A = this chain, B = another copy of it.
Protein backbone atom coordinates (compact mmCIF):
# COMPACT_ATOMS: atom_id res chain seq x y z
CA UNK A 1 0.00 0.00 0.00
CA UNK A 2 1.09 3.53 -0.81
CA UNK A 3 1.99 5.52 2.28
CA UNK A 4 -1.05 7.30 3.56
CA UNK A 5 0.39 10.82 3.45
CA UNK A 6 1.25 10.36 -0.22
CA UNK A 7 -2.22 9.24 -1.24
CA UNK A 8 -4.67 11.36 -3.16
CA UNK A 9 -7.94 11.97 -1.35
CA UNK A 10 -9.60 9.38 -3.60
CA UNK A 11 -6.94 6.78 -2.87
CA UNK A 12 -7.34 7.42 0.83
CA UNK A 13 -11.11 7.12 0.53
CA UNK A 14 -10.68 3.68 -1.04
CA UNK A 15 -8.20 2.61 1.60
CA UNK A 16 -10.69 3.65 4.29
CA UNK A 17 -13.59 1.86 2.62
CA UNK A 18 -11.60 -1.35 2.29
CA UNK A 19 -10.55 -1.02 5.93
CA UNK A 20 -6.87 -1.20 5.03
CA UNK A 21 -5.90 1.67 7.31
CA UNK A 22 -4.93 1.26 10.97
CA UNK A 23 -5.69 3.94 13.52
CA UNK A 24 -4.07 4.53 16.88
CA UNK A 25 -5.82 6.84 19.34
CA UNK A 26 -3.39 8.03 21.98
CA UNK A 27 -5.28 8.86 25.16
CA UNK A 28 -8.55 6.97 25.55
CA UNK A 29 -10.25 9.03 28.23
CA UNK A 30 -13.47 11.02 28.22
CA UNK A 31 -13.15 12.08 24.56
CA UNK A 32 -10.44 9.74 23.28
CA UNK A 33 -12.34 6.53 23.98
CA UNK A 34 -15.56 7.57 22.18
CA UNK A 35 -13.33 8.81 19.34
CA UNK A 36 -11.53 5.47 19.12
CA UNK A 37 -14.86 3.62 19.28
CA UNK A 38 -16.22 5.77 16.44
CA UNK A 39 -13.22 4.93 14.27
CA UNK A 40 -13.47 1.22 15.08
CA UNK A 41 -17.21 1.28 14.47
CA UNK A 42 -16.61 2.72 11.00
CA UNK A 43 -14.71 -0.45 10.15
CA UNK A 44 -11.13 0.68 10.72
CA UNK A 45 -8.89 -1.38 12.93
CA UNK A 46 -8.27 0.87 15.91
CA UNK A 47 -5.83 0.66 18.78
CA UNK A 48 -6.45 2.61 21.97
CA UNK A 49 -3.23 3.61 23.69
CA UNK A 50 -3.11 4.84 27.26
CA UNK A 51 -0.67 4.92 30.18
CA UNK A 52 -3.49 3.99 32.57
CA UNK A 53 -2.93 0.23 32.76
CA UNK A 54 -6.05 -0.41 34.81
CA UNK A 55 -8.20 1.36 32.22
CA UNK A 56 -6.52 -0.69 29.49
CA UNK A 57 -7.08 -3.92 31.41
CA UNK A 58 -10.73 -3.11 32.04
CA UNK A 59 -11.37 -2.22 28.42
CA UNK A 60 -9.75 -5.40 27.19
CA UNK A 61 -11.89 -7.32 29.70
CA UNK A 62 -14.99 -5.79 28.14
CA UNK A 63 -15.74 -3.34 30.93
CA UNK A 64 -17.04 -0.05 29.47
CA UNK A 65 -15.73 2.78 31.64
CA UNK A 66 -17.90 5.79 30.62
CA UNK A 67 -21.23 5.25 32.31
CA UNK A 68 -22.64 8.68 31.40
CA UNK A 69 -22.08 8.48 27.63
CA UNK A 70 -25.17 6.92 26.06
CA UNK A 71 -24.92 4.65 22.97
CA UNK A 72 -21.17 4.18 23.19
CA UNK A 73 -21.66 1.24 25.56
CA UNK A 74 -23.32 -0.68 22.71
CA UNK A 75 -20.66 0.30 20.19
CA UNK A 76 -18.02 -0.70 22.73
CA UNK A 77 -19.42 -4.22 23.02
CA UNK A 78 -19.74 -4.48 19.26
CA UNK A 79 -16.21 -3.41 18.29
CA UNK A 80 -14.64 -5.44 21.09
CA UNK A 81 -16.53 -8.52 19.90
CA UNK A 82 -15.62 -7.85 16.28
CA UNK A 83 -11.99 -7.42 17.38
CA UNK A 84 -11.90 -4.05 15.64
CA UNK A 85 -10.64 -2.42 18.81
CA UNK A 86 -8.34 -3.18 21.69
CA UNK A 87 -6.43 -1.14 24.23
CA UNK A 88 -2.77 -1.22 25.11
CA UNK A 89 -0.10 0.58 27.09
CA UNK A 90 2.58 -0.29 24.55
CA UNK A 91 3.31 2.78 22.48
CA UNK A 92 5.96 1.15 20.33
CA UNK A 93 3.80 -1.70 19.11
CA UNK A 94 0.72 0.44 18.56
CA UNK A 95 2.30 3.47 16.90
CA UNK A 96 4.51 1.50 14.54
CA UNK A 97 1.43 -0.35 13.27
CA UNK A 98 -0.67 2.77 12.73
CA UNK A 99 -1.16 4.84 9.59
CA UNK A 100 -3.14 7.48 11.44
CA UNK A 101 -2.24 8.57 14.96
CA UNK A 102 -4.83 10.66 16.79
CA UNK A 103 -3.69 12.47 19.91
CA UNK A 104 -6.47 12.91 22.43
CA UNK A 105 -4.30 13.73 25.40
CA UNK A 106 -5.24 16.00 28.28
CA UNK A 107 -3.86 19.54 28.23
CA UNK A 108 -4.46 20.60 31.82
CA UNK A 109 -2.85 23.34 33.92
CA UNK A 110 -0.31 23.17 36.69
CA UNK A 111 -0.96 24.65 40.13
CA UNK A 112 0.02 28.12 38.90
CA UNK A 113 -2.54 27.92 36.10
CA UNK A 114 0.16 27.49 33.47
CA UNK A 115 -1.02 25.22 30.64
CA UNK A 116 0.73 21.86 30.85
CA UNK A 117 1.57 20.19 27.55
CA UNK A 118 3.82 17.55 29.10
CA UNK A 119 1.60 14.65 28.00
CA UNK A 120 1.72 15.82 24.39
CA UNK A 121 5.45 16.53 24.57
CA UNK A 122 6.19 13.14 26.07
CA UNK A 123 4.17 11.34 23.41
CA UNK A 124 5.76 13.55 20.75
CA UNK A 125 9.21 12.35 21.78
CA UNK A 126 8.12 8.74 21.51
CA UNK A 127 6.50 9.39 18.13
CA UNK A 128 9.90 10.62 17.05
CA UNK A 129 11.22 7.12 17.72
CA UNK A 130 8.31 4.93 16.68
CA UNK A 131 6.31 6.73 14.02
CA UNK A 132 6.14 4.78 10.77
CA UNK A 133 7.19 6.74 7.75
CA UNK A 134 4.35 8.20 5.76
CA UNK A 135 1.83 8.28 8.58
CA UNK A 136 -0.34 11.20 9.64
CA UNK A 137 -0.45 12.57 13.19
CA UNK A 138 -3.61 14.48 14.12
CA UNK A 139 -3.91 16.44 17.35
CA UNK A 140 -7.42 16.59 18.77
CA UNK A 141 -6.37 18.04 22.13
CA UNK A 142 -6.90 21.74 22.66
CA UNK A 143 -3.57 23.49 22.21
CA UNK A 144 -2.34 27.04 21.92
CA UNK A 145 -2.14 28.51 18.42
CA UNK A 146 1.33 27.79 17.05
CA UNK A 147 2.02 24.76 19.26
CA UNK A 148 2.12 22.45 16.21
CA UNK A 149 4.15 24.75 13.97
CA UNK A 150 6.57 26.13 16.57
CA UNK A 151 7.11 23.17 18.85
CA UNK A 152 5.44 19.86 18.16
CA UNK A 153 6.80 19.33 14.65
CA UNK A 154 10.38 19.70 15.94
CA UNK A 155 9.67 17.33 18.83
CA UNK A 156 8.59 14.63 16.39
CA UNK A 157 11.42 15.39 13.98
CA UNK A 158 13.77 15.02 16.96
CA UNK A 159 17.53 15.11 16.69
CA UNK A 160 17.90 12.15 14.37
CA UNK A 161 17.40 12.67 10.69
CA UNK A 162 14.81 9.93 10.32
CA UNK A 163 11.68 12.07 10.20
CA UNK A 164 11.03 15.30 8.36
CA UNK A 165 7.59 16.86 8.30
CA UNK A 166 5.85 16.93 4.90
CA UNK A 167 8.59 14.61 3.63
CA UNK A 168 8.01 11.40 5.56
CA UNK A 169 5.34 12.23 8.06
CA UNK A 170 2.43 14.60 8.10
CA UNK A 171 0.64 16.43 10.85
CA UNK A 172 -2.57 18.33 11.38
CA UNK A 173 -5.27 19.14 13.87
CA UNK A 174 -8.95 18.44 14.29
CA UNK A 175 -9.91 19.99 17.63
CA UNK A 176 -12.51 17.96 19.47
CA UNK A 177 -15.76 19.78 20.16
CA UNK A 178 -17.62 17.21 22.22
CA UNK A 179 -19.34 17.93 25.51
CA UNK A 180 -18.95 15.25 28.15
CA UNK A 181 -22.29 13.55 28.67
CA UNK A 182 -23.50 14.05 25.09
CA UNK A 183 -20.57 12.95 22.97
CA UNK A 184 -22.62 10.78 20.61
CA UNK A 185 -24.91 13.70 19.80
CA UNK A 186 -21.98 16.07 19.35
CA UNK A 187 -19.98 13.64 17.18
CA UNK A 188 -22.93 13.30 14.83
CA UNK A 189 -24.01 16.94 14.74
CA UNK A 190 -21.32 19.51 15.54
CA UNK A 191 -19.15 20.81 12.71
CA UNK A 192 -15.41 20.27 13.14
CA UNK A 193 -12.38 22.20 12.04
CA UNK A 194 -9.65 20.47 10.06
CA UNK A 195 -6.21 21.79 9.25
CA UNK A 196 -3.05 20.12 8.02
CA UNK A 197 0.52 21.25 7.74
CA UNK A 198 -0.32 21.92 4.08
CA UNK A 199 -3.44 21.90 1.94
CA UNK A 200 -2.95 18.32 0.72
CA UNK A 201 -2.83 17.08 4.28
CA UNK A 202 -5.91 19.14 5.15
CA UNK A 203 -7.72 17.33 2.36
CA UNK A 204 -6.54 13.92 3.61
CA UNK A 205 -7.61 14.70 7.18
CA UNK A 206 -10.95 15.75 5.74
CA UNK A 207 -11.32 12.32 4.09
CA UNK A 208 -10.47 10.54 7.34
CA UNK A 209 -13.01 12.41 9.48
CA UNK A 210 -15.59 12.44 6.72
CA UNK A 211 -15.38 8.64 6.66
CA UNK A 212 -16.08 8.35 10.40
CA UNK A 213 -18.23 11.34 11.37
CA UNK A 214 -21.35 12.59 9.53
CA UNK A 215 -20.59 16.23 10.33
CA UNK A 216 -19.63 19.36 8.46
CA UNK A 217 -15.84 19.73 8.20
CA UNK A 218 -14.50 23.25 7.96
CA UNK A 219 -11.08 23.70 6.40
CA UNK A 220 -8.76 26.09 8.18
CA UNK A 221 -5.78 27.74 6.47
CA UNK A 222 -3.37 26.29 9.05
CA UNK A 223 -3.16 24.53 12.40
CA UNK A 224 -2.74 27.68 14.47
CA UNK A 225 -5.94 29.20 13.09
CA UNK A 226 -7.89 26.05 13.95
CA UNK A 227 -6.57 26.23 17.52
CA UNK A 228 -7.45 29.92 17.67
CA UNK A 229 -11.04 29.15 16.67
CA UNK A 230 -11.37 26.42 19.27
CA UNK A 231 -10.08 28.71 22.02
CA UNK A 232 -12.16 31.68 20.83
CA UNK A 233 -15.44 29.78 21.06
CA UNK A 234 -14.70 28.43 24.52
CA UNK A 235 -13.20 31.57 26.03
CA UNK A 236 -16.25 33.44 24.67
CA UNK A 237 -18.32 31.35 27.06
CA UNK A 238 -15.98 31.83 30.01
CA UNK A 239 -16.06 35.61 29.42
CA UNK A 240 -19.83 35.74 29.11
CA UNK A 241 -20.36 33.66 32.23
CA UNK A 242 -18.00 36.07 34.02
CA UNK A 243 -20.12 38.94 32.73
CA UNK A 244 -23.34 37.55 34.22
CA UNK A 245 -21.48 36.61 37.39
CA UNK A 246 -20.29 40.20 37.70
CA UNK A 247 -23.82 41.46 37.07
CA UNK A 248 -25.13 39.02 39.68
CA UNK A 249 -22.90 40.52 42.36
CA UNK A 250 -24.15 43.98 41.39
CA UNK A 251 -27.82 43.02 41.14
CA UNK A 252 -27.76 41.33 44.56
CA UNK A 253 -26.78 44.70 46.02
CA UNK A 254 -29.30 46.61 43.90
CA UNK A 255 -32.16 44.31 44.89
CA UNK A 256 -32.64 43.05 41.35
CA UNK A 257 -33.27 39.45 40.37
CA UNK A 258 -30.69 38.39 37.78
CA UNK A 259 -32.85 35.52 36.55
CA UNK A 260 -35.71 37.94 35.78
CA UNK A 261 -33.25 40.24 34.01
CA UNK A 262 -31.79 37.42 31.92
CA UNK A 263 -35.21 36.13 30.94
CA UNK A 264 -36.29 39.57 29.71
CA UNK A 265 -32.91 40.25 28.09
CA UNK A 266 -33.47 37.24 25.84
CA UNK A 267 -36.25 39.15 24.11
CA UNK A 268 -33.50 41.32 22.60
CA UNK A 269 -32.57 39.76 19.25
CA UNK A 270 -28.84 40.31 19.68
CA UNK A 271 -28.45 39.11 23.27
CA UNK A 272 -27.18 35.62 24.03
CA UNK A 273 -27.88 34.36 27.50
CA UNK A 274 -25.41 32.71 29.86
CA UNK A 275 -26.13 31.93 33.50
CA UNK A 276 -24.32 32.83 36.70
CA UNK A 277 -23.11 30.16 39.07
CA UNK A 278 -20.73 29.02 41.77
CA UNK A 279 -17.82 28.94 39.33
CA UNK A 280 -16.69 27.64 35.94
CA UNK A 281 -15.01 24.25 35.96
CA UNK A 282 -14.44 21.31 33.69
CA UNK A 283 -11.58 20.21 31.47
CA UNK A 284 -12.06 23.03 28.93
CA UNK A 285 -13.17 26.53 29.81
CA UNK A 286 -10.81 27.51 32.66
CA UNK A 287 -7.83 25.92 30.92
CA UNK A 288 -8.71 27.47 27.57
CA UNK A 289 -8.74 30.95 29.09
CA UNK A 290 -5.30 30.34 30.58
CA UNK A 291 -4.12 29.02 27.22
CA UNK A 292 -5.15 32.31 25.60
CA UNK A 293 -3.47 34.24 28.42
CA UNK A 294 -0.34 32.13 27.98
CA UNK A 295 -0.35 32.74 24.22
CA UNK A 296 -0.45 36.44 24.99
CA UNK A 297 2.50 36.20 27.37
CA UNK A 298 4.50 34.30 24.78
CA UNK A 299 4.20 37.16 22.30
CA UNK A 300 4.87 39.86 24.86
CA UNK A 301 1.30 40.87 25.71
CA UNK A 302 1.65 41.21 29.43
CA UNK A 303 -1.98 40.69 30.17
CA UNK A 304 -5.10 40.20 28.15
CA UNK A 305 -7.18 42.35 30.48
CA UNK A 306 -10.60 41.05 29.68
CA UNK A 307 -9.72 37.35 29.83
CA UNK A 308 -7.76 37.98 33.02
CA UNK A 309 -10.70 39.78 34.63
CA UNK A 310 -12.97 36.97 33.45
CA UNK A 311 -10.88 34.36 35.25
CA UNK A 312 -10.62 36.48 38.40
CA UNK A 313 -14.39 36.86 38.56
CA UNK A 314 -15.21 33.22 37.86
CA UNK A 315 -12.59 32.08 40.37
CA UNK A 316 -14.04 34.42 43.02
CA UNK A 317 -17.52 32.90 42.80
CA UNK A 318 -16.91 30.01 45.23
CA UNK A 319 -15.95 32.57 47.88
CA UNK A 320 -19.09 34.57 47.13
CA UNK A 321 -21.25 31.48 47.54
CA UNK A 322 -19.62 30.87 50.91
CA UNK A 323 -20.42 34.45 51.91
CA UNK A 324 -24.07 33.93 50.96
CA UNK A 325 -24.08 30.90 53.23
CA UNK A 326 -22.40 32.84 56.03
CA UNK A 327 -25.09 35.54 55.63
CA UNK A 328 -27.76 32.92 56.20
CA UNK A 329 -26.01 31.61 59.29
CA UNK A 330 -25.65 35.15 60.63
CA UNK A 331 -29.35 35.80 59.99
CA UNK A 332 -30.15 32.61 61.92
CA UNK A 333 -27.75 33.48 64.74
CA UNK A 334 -25.92 30.24 64.10
CA UNK A 335 -22.27 29.39 63.64
CA UNK A 336 -20.92 27.77 60.51
CA UNK A 337 -18.39 26.17 62.83
CA UNK A 338 -19.75 22.88 64.06
CA UNK A 339 -22.72 22.97 61.69
CA UNK A 340 -23.49 20.31 59.11
CA UNK A 341 -23.76 21.55 55.54
CA UNK A 342 -25.16 19.43 52.74
CA UNK A 343 -23.58 20.07 49.35
CA UNK A 344 -26.07 19.36 46.56
CA UNK A 345 -24.15 18.52 43.41
CA UNK A 346 -20.40 18.41 42.99
CA UNK A 347 -20.05 17.95 39.21
CA UNK A 348 -18.69 20.97 37.37
CA UNK A 349 -21.80 20.98 35.18
CA UNK A 350 -25.25 19.41 35.24
CA UNK A 351 -26.01 15.80 34.39
CA UNK A 352 -22.48 14.44 34.21
CA UNK A 353 -20.27 12.54 36.58
CA UNK A 354 -17.25 14.79 36.38
CA UNK A 355 -15.61 16.97 39.03
CA UNK A 356 -12.64 18.31 37.07
CA UNK A 357 -11.93 21.81 38.40
CA UNK A 358 -15.42 21.88 39.90
CA UNK A 359 -16.16 24.88 42.16
CA UNK A 360 -17.41 22.28 44.65
CA UNK A 361 -13.81 21.58 45.62
CA UNK A 362 -12.76 25.04 46.89
CA UNK A 363 -16.19 25.51 48.49
CA UNK A 364 -15.98 22.25 50.42
CA UNK A 365 -12.39 22.94 51.37
CA UNK A 366 -13.17 26.44 52.68
CA UNK A 367 -16.27 25.34 54.58
CA UNK A 368 -14.26 22.54 56.17
CA UNK A 369 -11.63 25.07 57.18
CA UNK A 370 -14.42 27.12 58.75
CA UNK A 371 -15.23 24.10 60.89
CA UNK A 372 -18.34 22.86 59.11
CA UNK A 373 -19.10 19.17 58.71
CA UNK A 374 -19.67 18.51 55.03
CA UNK A 375 -22.09 16.03 53.53
CA UNK A 376 -22.40 15.50 49.81
CA UNK A 377 -25.43 14.43 47.85
CA UNK A 378 -24.97 14.06 44.11
CA UNK A 379 -27.04 11.60 42.07
CA UNK A 380 -23.95 10.94 39.91
CA UNK A 381 -21.79 10.13 42.93
CA UNK A 382 -23.78 7.84 45.21
CA UNK A 383 -21.95 6.24 48.11
CA UNK A 384 -18.56 7.14 46.75
CA UNK A 385 -15.53 8.69 48.37
CA UNK A 386 -15.09 12.18 46.89
CA UNK A 387 -12.93 14.95 48.32
CA UNK A 388 -12.28 12.54 51.19
CA UNK A 389 -15.99 12.40 52.04
CA UNK A 390 -18.31 9.41 51.67
CA UNK A 391 -21.22 10.72 49.61
CA UNK A 392 -24.85 10.16 50.61
CA UNK A 393 -27.27 7.77 48.97
CA UNK A 394 -30.52 9.30 50.18
CA UNK A 395 -31.47 12.97 49.87
CA UNK A 396 -34.14 12.92 52.59
CA UNK A 397 -31.86 11.37 55.17
CA UNK A 398 -29.06 13.73 54.24
CA UNK A 399 -31.32 16.78 54.63
CA UNK A 400 -32.65 15.62 58.00
CA UNK A 401 -29.11 15.37 59.31
CA UNK A 402 -27.98 18.78 58.00
CA UNK A 403 -28.41 22.37 59.17
CA UNK A 404 -28.07 23.90 55.75
CA UNK A 405 -28.05 22.91 52.10
CA UNK A 406 -26.04 24.47 49.29
CA UNK A 407 -26.91 23.81 45.65
CA UNK A 408 -23.75 23.88 43.54
CA UNK A 409 -24.74 21.89 40.43
CA UNK A 410 -28.04 22.17 38.56
CA UNK A 411 -28.40 18.42 37.97
CA UNK A 412 -31.76 17.62 36.38
CA UNK A 413 -32.57 15.55 39.48
CA UNK A 414 -32.56 18.78 41.52
CA UNK A 415 -34.81 20.84 39.26
CA UNK A 416 -38.04 19.29 40.47
CA UNK A 417 -37.31 19.18 44.18
CA UNK A 418 -40.25 20.70 46.01
CA UNK A 419 -38.74 23.66 47.97
CA UNK A 420 -40.90 22.59 50.90
CA UNK A 421 -38.62 19.56 51.23
CA UNK A 422 -35.81 21.86 52.35
CA UNK A 423 -37.85 23.76 54.92
CA UNK A 424 -39.46 20.62 56.30
CA UNK A 425 -36.35 18.46 56.52
CA UNK A 426 -33.34 20.67 57.21
CA UNK A 427 -32.50 21.15 60.87
CA UNK A 428 -32.00 24.89 60.44
CA UNK A 429 -33.86 25.63 57.22
CA UNK A 430 -30.88 27.35 55.58
CA UNK A 431 -30.69 27.08 51.79
CA UNK A 432 -28.25 28.69 49.39
CA UNK A 433 -28.95 28.21 45.69
CA UNK A 434 -26.12 29.13 43.34
CA UNK A 435 -27.96 27.99 40.19
CA UNK A 436 -31.29 29.83 40.08
CA UNK A 437 -33.31 26.68 40.77
CA UNK A 438 -35.37 27.79 43.77
CA UNK A 439 -37.63 30.83 43.48
CA UNK A 440 -36.60 33.34 46.17
CA UNK A 441 -40.19 34.37 46.96
CA UNK A 442 -41.30 30.79 47.44
CA UNK A 443 -38.26 30.19 49.62
CA UNK A 444 -39.17 33.11 51.91
CA UNK A 445 -42.84 32.14 51.97
CA UNK A 446 -42.12 28.66 53.26
CA UNK A 447 -39.80 29.95 55.96
CA UNK A 448 -36.40 29.15 54.49
CA UNK A 449 -33.43 31.32 55.40
CA UNK A 450 -32.49 31.73 51.77
CA UNK A 451 -29.89 33.31 49.54
CA UNK A 452 -29.88 32.85 45.78
CA UNK A 453 -26.81 33.81 43.81
CA UNK A 454 -27.61 37.00 41.89
CA UNK A 455 -31.12 37.10 43.24
CA UNK A 456 -31.55 40.51 44.77
CA UNK A 457 -35.01 41.13 46.13
Residues in B with CB closer than 8 Å to A243 are 235-236, 239, 306-307
Q: Is A312 an interface residue (CB 8 A)?
A: yes
Cα(A242)–Cα(B232), bound, Å: 13
Within 8 A of B (CB), among A193-247: 193, 216, 218, 220-221, 224-226, 228-229, 232-233, 235-237, 239-240, 242-243, 246-247
Contact (Cβ within 8 A) A232 B265: yes
Contact of A305 among B218, B233, B261, B312 (CB under 8 A): B312
What 1/0 flags go to A293-336 for Cβ under 8 Å of B?
Answer: 00110011100111111101100000000000000000000000
Contact (Cβ within 8 A) A242 B300: no
| Copies of this chain | 2
Q: Is A15 an interface residue (CB 8 A)?
A: no
Q: Is A3 an interface residue (CB 8 A)?
A: no
Contact (Cβ within 8 A) B295 A264: no
| Known interface pairs A239-B243, A269-B190, A307-B246; A228-B261 also in contact (CB < 8 Å) | yes
Contact (Cβ within 8 A) B249 A301: yes
Query: How far, in Å, is A256 (CB) from chain B's closest CB?
Result: 5
Residues in B with CB closer than 8 Å to A308 are 309
Residues in B with CB closer than 8 Å to A224 are 254-256
Q: Is A155 an interface residue (CB 8 A)?
A: no
Contact (Cβ within 8 A) A292 B221: no
Cα(A69)–Cα(B220), bound, Å: 41
| Known interface pairs A260-B221, A261-B229, A264-B220; A271-B236 also in contact (CB < 8 Å) | yes
Query: How far, in Å, is A274 (CB) from chain B's closest CB?
Result: 9
Q: Is A145 an interface residue (CB 8 A)?
A: yes
Contact (Cβ within 8 A) B218 A296: no
Contact (Cβ within 8 A) A225 B268: no
Contact (Cβ within 8 A) A191 B267: yes
Residues in B with CB closer than 8 Å to A226 are 264
Contact of A253 among B225, B250, B299 (CB under 8 A): B299
If over half of A's interface residues share one DSSP class (helix, strand or loop), that class is named, otherwise mixed; here it is: helix
Cα(A309)–Cα(B240), bound, Å: 13
Q: Is A161 an interface residue (CB 8 A)?
A: no
Q: Is A270 an interface residue (CB 8 A)?
A: yes
Greatest chain B CB density within 10 A among A190, A193, A261, A300 is at A261
Contact (Cβ within 8 A) B272 A272: yes
Cα(A191)–Cα(B216), bound, Å: 35
Q: Is A282 an interface residue (CB 8 A)?
A: no
Cα(A239)–Cα(B246), bound, Å: 12
Cα(A247)–Cα(B324), bound, Å: 35
Contact (Cβ within 8 A) A306 B306: yes
Residue of B with least CB distance to A264: B229
Q: Is A177 an interface residue (CB 8 A)?
A: yes
Q: Is A187 an interface residue (CB 8 A)?
A: no
Question: Which A residues contact B (CB, under 8 angstroms)?
Answer: 145-146, 177, 190-191, 193, 216, 218, 220-221, 224-226, 228-229, 232-233, 235-237, 239-240, 242-243, 246-247, 249-251, 253-257, 260-262, 264-265, 267-272, 292, 295-296, 299-301, 304-310, 312-313
- For the complex of A and B, the 10 pairs showing the least CB-CB separation, nearest first, are A305-B309, A253-B299, A191-B267, A233-B268, A309-B309, A272-B272, A229-B264, A233-B271, A306-B309, A228-B256
Question: Could you list 15 examples of A-B contacts with CB < 8 Å?
Answer: A145-B254, A146-B254, A193-B264, A218-B267, A224-B255, A232-B265, A233-B268, A236-B240, A237-B270, A242-B306, A246-B307, A254-B295, A270-B272, A306-B313, A308-B309
